Amino acid sequence: MLCHGLSATRRYVVHGSKYLPRHGYRLTTYDARGHGESDPADRYGYEGLAEDLELVIESTGAMADGGATLGGHSMGCHTVARRTLLDPGGVKALVLIGPVFTGDADEDARWDRRAEALEQGGPEAFAEVVAENSPNQEVHDTVYRLARDRARLHRHPEAVAEALREIPRSKPFESLDELSRLDLPVLVVASHDEADPGHPYEVAVKWAETIPGADLVSEEPGESPLAWQGGRLSREITSFFDRHGVG
């Protein structure tokens, strides 16, 4: 089961890749509250995100037949980590893509700017704000396109704007030290900062160092982030499963 990041939709974890289902894995994704086709929530934070994840797990029977692997990107990564720390039962492995949480709530004003751009200017204005600090034109164009295209998929953009204001200021758990309690196979996927500074490489490294026995993978410096390459990311996930005997 894969959970997407803030302002994305269920498509934006493995980006439409069918590699996992073609290789025998049942893949479940869903739109978080207020995102994509989902209805808005009264408020947004990791407590509610983890509760919704639990509802999806129960409704899909994902933990039947020996349990399930949980994974996610950014917000989704934090959500599955929170759920597993609260209740590791039935979780066979974790795939943690692009973590950004360092132990403190993120009060950076960029989230308010993104929310205002989405509310006032729509997907194009939102995408321009997301891409504004790109290191070169090629990266700018890619980030702009991804941000614009995912913003166009939201049935309730005003709800996404509220989520942009509230979720970064919510903490998935209290401190990174809690990750040391995880006792299961974990894959951490990092991105280099040249193309994706919003998901700092060193944060992913810190997560991997804190989680006992965690695997860390990334693209080579100068390459497009692994988290943006659905097919390649899916192959890394299956290789991780093979290494750890996760069915």
- pLDDT above 70 covers a percentage of the chain that reads 100
Return the pLDDT at 62.
85
Taking CA atoms, 190 is separated from 54, 55, 103, 121, 202, in Å, by 26, 28, 18, 31, 8
CA 155 to the chain's CA centroid: 20
Please give the model's pTM, rounded to 2 decimal places.
0.96
User: Mean of the pLDDT values across residues 192-202?
Assistant: 94
Is the confidence at residue 205, as pLDDT, over 90? yes
User: Mean of the pLDDT values across residues 176-203?
Assistant: 96
Return the pLDDT at 168.
96
Return the pLDDT at 192.
95
CA 94 to the chain's CA centroid: 12
Is the confidence at residue 27, as pLDDT, over 80? yes
Return the pLDDT at 20.
98
**Residue 242 structure tokens:** 């093979």
pLDDT band at 105 (very low <50, low <70, confident <90, very high): confident
Is the confidence at residue 172, as pLDDT, over 80? yes
Q: What architecture does CATH give domain 6-102+173-244?
A: 3-Layer(aba) Sandwich (3.40)
- pLDDT above 90 covers a percentage of the chain that reads 92
Average pLDDT of the chain? Answer: 96
User: Mean of the pLDDT values across residues 150-170?
Assistant: 98
Residue 65 vs residue 34, higher pLDDT: 34
How is the chain split into domains, by residue range? 6-102+173-244
Buried b (16+ CB within 10 A) or exposed e, 107-145: eeeebeebbbbbbeeebebbbbbbbeebeeeebbebbbe
Return the pLDDT at 132.
92
User: Mean of the pLDDT values across residues 47-72?
Assistant: 93
